[in-house]
Structure 1
């Protein structure tokens, strides 16, 4: 796995130390679903996130089909390309059951999620 997970105060934090591929992102989501720790999730992208438009749409559809219960998800994407990719994902992922936000820094995401600093 190219990611680590930990649960802090009911919020699942997923950290990618390297730039995740589409397969890495899907694997992390499948892992959270399998462990039933997906209702409040915070993804931290330390080095970036680069997907094509088609891959972004594929990831959004995968996530939408995988998670059919109300949940919250936040992404910390500090660099411009990762932030833009995640904003596209946010647009494609939008539905009535998921609150999804993209942030440039951990503190803003943690405030929105309601979790203390790691």
Structure 2
């Protein structure tokens, strides 16, 4: 699995990662790959892009820098205008437990604006 994980998640963008997972899922027909893909597609597109950026930046930061970045992301994640994604995720997972978020701020990863990710 590790080779497939490295192959899929080494891509630079969320869209490329999803494409790689779709390709591997079609070839391998393994449950973990299909489940990972399903979870990515259920998540907020903005959260996916912000998280990927955070992971990539965190590789080169000290613990103090990582904690500051995580704090900033947490505050921005629950602030307007992006608090809707957080609230919708909480509703879908914890309140209604339907695991079906109705709508996110951005409909898909391809329309998440660069400045939106940078604001975190």
The interval holding the TM-score normalised by the smaller chain is under 0.3
| TM-score, structure 2 normalization | 0.24
Q: Which has the higher strand share?
A: 1
What TM-score do the two structures reach when normalised by structure 1? 0.25
Q: Which has the higher contact order (CA 8 A, sep 6+)?
A: 2
Higher helix share: 2
Q: Larger Rg: 1 or 2?
A: 2
